[in-house]
Amino acid sequence: MGRSNGPRSGTIAIVGRPNVGKSTLINALVGEKISIVSTKPHTTRHRILGVLNRGESQAVFIDTPGHARRVQHALHRLMARVIHESLEGCDLVIVVTEAKRTTAEDRRLFELCKNRSERTILVLNKIDELKSRTSLLPRLHELGKMQFLAYVPVSARSGENLGALVDAIFANLPAGPALFPLDMTTDRSLRFRAAEIVREKLLGELHQEVPYGLTVEIEHMQKGEDGRWLVHALIWLEREGHKPIVIGREGRLLKQVGQDARIELNGLLGGRVHLELTVKVRKHWSDNELELKRLGFDSA
């Protein structure tokens, strides 16, 4: 892409297998938490935009679900479609892999991006976990055979070398004006972000199969005259037997989730929050296209 002294703007799809740190990376790039983070695979289920401005230039990042082969449910098929549509419509692609290893899933994703290599940046994340940085050299030599646009080792968690990545991104965006207002950081509503915060806290507390059949819907969110927010969140499960797990003994797990979510919501909404959580069951919601649409999964 040719260089220009004027503003440069465009969209950048961030793709990678589950748990390589895509959401941590987009949060670090934007400088604000717009995508939730957990150690559970497929934490990100939606297409989420994050906006980084540099003067009059603008980079619009698209956080996508983790790329995986499992697509038997309607939710998984939708997530796969989000990845492919994001790749088709973007100006640049960032493929995120781990600095210390390449998996079969990584290689499948590399192959998917092969015909976009001239506009793909390969990010080797988690360099803070390497015992020696010299171990990067053989990996860079091996990965360099794919002839991507650039290869940038970073630590999204610590922020190491993010400046080099940002430079590479803006240097390769097409010339043009900003796509969104310069004070915007994400396209997602407060209601969506509140639901995701509650889900993140649930993922942090649950250690069984429950997270894969769980979603959160904000039923009510309103700011009162006293400046305090009232937020009522519905936690939807696919199985009746999961309710006692999510609620916890004597309600302790749900209470902890509520406390943790409330603290973060206070910051997001800029005021005190009264949060109510209700657990309900809707069987097979993740394999029901009408339910997915009702829950906003096709809104991206």
Nearest to 12 by CA among 140, 1, 37, 100: 1
Across-strand partners of 278?
234
CA-nearest of 108, 115, 114, 129 to 21 is 129
Q: Give the pLDDT mean for 48-52.
A: 92
The span from the CA of 293 to the CA of 112, in Å, is: 28
Same domain, 200 and 114: no
Q: Are residues 133 and 53 in the same domain?
A: yes
Please answer whether residues 83 and 64 qualify as being in contact, where contact means their C-beta atoms are separated by less than 8 angstroms.
yes
Please, which residues have CB within 8 angstroms of residue 114's CB and are 6 or more apart in sequence?
A: 146
Tens-place pLDDT, residues 229-245: 999 999 999 999 999 99
Do residues 272 and 231 share a domain?
yes
Other CB atoms within 10 Å distance of the CB of residue 237: 20
Q: Does residue 94 belong to any structural domain of this protein?
A: yes
Look up the domain containing 88 and give its range: 9-171
Q: How far apart are CA 101 and CA 254, in angstroms?
A: 37
For the record, the structure tokens of 5 come out as 């002294």
Cα–Cα distances (Å) from 9 to 31, 162, 211, in that order, read 18, 19, 37
Q: Residue 74: CB partners within 8 Å, gap ≥ 6?
A: 286, 287, 288, 289, 292
Looking at the structure, tell me whether residues 152 and 213 fall in a common domain: no
- Locate 84 and state its tokens: 């492919």
Question: Is 37 domain-assigned?
Answer: yes
Domain tally, the chain: 2
Structural domain contains residue 81: yes
Do 126 and 73 reside in the same domain of the chain?
yes
Q: Which tokens go with 164? A: 């080099």
Given 171, 199, 226, the domain boundary residue is 171
Distance, CA of 99 to chain centre: 19
pLDDT at 220 over 70: yes
Residues 25 and 127 reside in one and the same domain: yes
Q: What percent of the chain has pLDDT over 90?
A: 60
Let me know if residue 182 belongs to a domain.
no
Same domain for 131 and 238, yes or no, is no
Return the C-alpha torsion angle 201, 203, 207, 211, nearest 10.
140
Q: Is the pLDDT of residue 2 over 60?
A: no
* Mean pLDDT, all residues of the chain: 88
Mean pLDDT score, 63-78: 66
pLDDT reported for residue 210: 72
Considering only the C-alpha atoms of the chain, give the largest distance between any 2 of them, rounded to a whole number of Å: 63
Q: Last residue of some domain: 110, 139, 171? A: 171
pLDDT at 1: 45
Q: Which long-range contacts (CB under 8 A, 24 or more apart) does 194-197 make?
A: 194/218, 194/221, 194/231, 194/233, 194/265, 194/268, 194/269, 195/233, 196/35, 196/36, 197/36, 197/261, 197/264, 197/265, 197/268
Q: Could you tell me if 73 and 162 lie in one domain?
A: yes
Residue after which a domain boundary falls, among 171, 198, 231: 171
Decide which of 45 and 126 is more confident.
126
Residue pair 274/229 in contact (Cβ under 8 Å)? The answer is: yes
CA atoms within 13 A on the CB side of 295: 25
Let me know whether 13 and 136 are in one domain: yes
CATH number at residue 207: 3.30.300.20
Do 132 and 257 share a domain, yes or no? no
Beta-sheet pairing, 120-125 with 92-98:
parallel
**CB of 97 within 8 A of CB of 140?**
no
Task: Round to the nearest angstrom and report the end-to-end CA distance of the chain.
Answer: 28
Instruction: Say if residues 16 and 67 touch (Cβ distance below 8 Å).
Output: yes
Averaged pLDDT, 151-164: 96
Does 179 map to a domain?
no
pLDDT in tens, 177-195: 999 998 899 999 999 999 9
CATH number at residue 157: 3.40.50.300
Say what the pLDDT of residue 42 is: 66
